[in-house]
Amino acid sequence: MSLSIRKFVRPNLFWKIFLWFWLATLSVLASTVFLYSLSEQESRLIPIERSERIELRKTAIFVQQKKLIDKYDELKILQPKKIEKILSKTFILDKYGKDLFDRDVPEAIYKLRAFNKRRQQLAKVINNNEAYFGPEVVFNRGKHYQLYLSKKTQQHFYSVISHIYHSTSIWTILAAFGISGLVCFGLAWYLTRPIHQLQKATQAFAAGDLQARATNYMGNRHDEFIDLAKDFDQMANKIDKMIHSQKRLLSDVSHELRSPLTRMQIASGLALNKATDDNRNHLERIETEIERLDEMIGELLQVAALERGNFYEEKSQFILNDLISVLVNDAKFEASAHNKSVTFKAEKEFEFTGYYGLIARSVENILRNAIRHTKSQTTVDLKLYQYDDQIKIQILDQGSGVKEEHINKIFEPFYRPTEARERTSGGTGLGLAIAKRGVEANGGNIYAENGVNCGLADGLKVTITLPIN
């Protein structure tokens, strides 16, 4: 089952509203029929049931076989209780509509008699809690009579249902259910659609599209949902302004720091030229910290530029294998100084069109980060291969990995999980953030996994995914 189908059939708000509306519609219909059955107690004709038809026929056969019509007076004298029991709920009418046993004939039976004369059909009449049904023809000595039966019934509600069922086509009933279902479906869709539209706007905003606005998705509505969308847009505008102000401040501060930093470097260089042995170590320390600060400011400016979409280069076509080979050769030199090594395997040659510098910086930052954290006398493995319609660059170290609660945050600027990165490691906390933005600028994505979650003993695996041009 696809994701879209699973999402559609799950018990979400739409189906809850739809089912409740439909249930309410059916409940109102059932309640109307029930109240009607309680309030309308006058006689009415309804179709006869099969069991009643069989009972009529059996009674008619019994009357004929036992010749009860001829023996009525005799049986009444000899067995009065038995004959009363047999015929207490039986009415046998002659052609004039008179009961052969001289009893008062209920009005309901005359209704059945008239209906049978018009339609030549059997029927049933319910009058309060008494049901009358018939007729069935009984023959005796060349004459025919009409036999009717009566019985007590407390199922007035069900008789109304039976009347509706028998007097209405099954297709009409199904059509009524279908129309009510469609109406409820449309109403549920109308009520939940703006929620889905608002969800699209929030998803687009969360994905980084700060210009996404809910009112653009809502259409021409004039209800509480459009008010909610306007409130969302107001919030989005404030967040957008705040983020842009933050980015501008970061960029401006970084630029402003460059000038005094340059002057500090010049002053430090001049001071070193005239330094004595006593203060040379202190000046060299100052020089090192200035270089670190300069590197951090440079990375801040690069992050700010990438977030603004300024890549400072044109797209070009190049071979990924050649680019990575150059980076791996430089990395091997750095790793060997710490008793570590780097390996590179490529499935085949990959040609890619994108920003060469951003790809190079992204891979370099991840590779250097892996070298920094892999254990001594271990290897950092880099693989280049194709998976489906994507190019994968996989870098795996043999370090201690990152705790699961930090794994999705290591690509944020200045984020430092204590267990993985310390100030003494030399990192600024911006390398992975630059790598992420560089990969995204080339239409790809980047993610990290602990080795233990990939079937490995330890380490961290970082995967860059790029589209095949």
DSSP-assigned letters across all residues of 418-458: TTT--GGGT--S-HHHHHHHHHHHTT-EEEEEEGGGGT-SS
Return d(Cα 297, Cα 303) in angstroms, integer.
10
Same domain, 336 and 463: yes
Same domain, 207 and 329: no
The CATH number of whichever domain residue 128 belongs to comes to: 3.30.450
Return d(Cα 2, Cα 8) in angstroms, integer.
10
From the list 166, 196, 255, 338, the catalytic residue is 255
Q: Are 42 and 162 in contact (CB under 8 A)?
A: no
Same domain, 271 and 338: no
First-to-final CA distance of the chain: 30
Same domain, 57 and 153: yes
Same domain, 385 and 398: yes
Q: Are 159 and 131 in contact (CB under 8 A)?
A: yes
Same domain, 144 and 231: no
Neighbours of 452 (CB within 10 A): 12
Return d(Cα 427, Cα 347) in angstroms, integer.
31
Name the residue type at position 97. G
Instruction: Output the tens digit of pLDDT for each of the chain's 469 residues.
Output: 444 544 444 446 667 777 777 777 777 776 665 555 554 444 567 788 888 888 889 888 888 877 777 766 555 544 555 556 667 788 888 888 888 777 888 888 888 888 888 888 888 887 767 888 988 988 887 788 898 998 877 555 555 556 555 555 667 667 777 777 777 777 777 777 788 788 888 888 877 777 888 888 777 777 777 888 888 888 888 888 887 776 676 666 666 676 777 777 788 777 777 777 777 787 778 877 777 777 777 766 666 666 666 666 788 999 999 999 999 998 998 899 889 999 999 989 999 998 888 898 889 989 998 998 899 899 999 999 998 889 999 999 988 888 888 887 888 777 666 544 444 455 566 778 888 888 888 889 999 988 877 667 788 899 999 998 7
Q: Is 255 a catalytic residue?
A: yes
Same domain, 333 and 418: yes
List the domain range (segments joined by +) for residue 414.
316-467
Question: Domain count of the chain?
Answer: 5
Same domain, 332 and 213: no
Side-chain half-sphere exposure of 10, counting CA atoms within 13 A: 9
Return d(Cα 128, Cα 159) in angstroms, integer.
11
Name the residue type at position 458. D
The strand pair at 379-387 and 341-346 is best described as parallel
Same domain, 326 and 227: no
Rg (CA), the chain: 45
Same domain, 246 and 266: no
Q: Are 105 and 27 in contact (CB under 8 A)?
A: no
Same domain, 337 and 458: yes
Nearest CA among 459, 456, 443, 465 for reference residue 363: 465
Same domain, 388 and 244: no
Q: Are 420 and 401 in contact (CB under 8 A)?
A: yes
The CATH number of whichever domain residue 392 belongs to comes to: 3.30.565.10
Q: Are 16 and 189 in contact (CB under 8 A)?
A: no
**pTM of the predicted structure, to 2 decimals:** 0.49
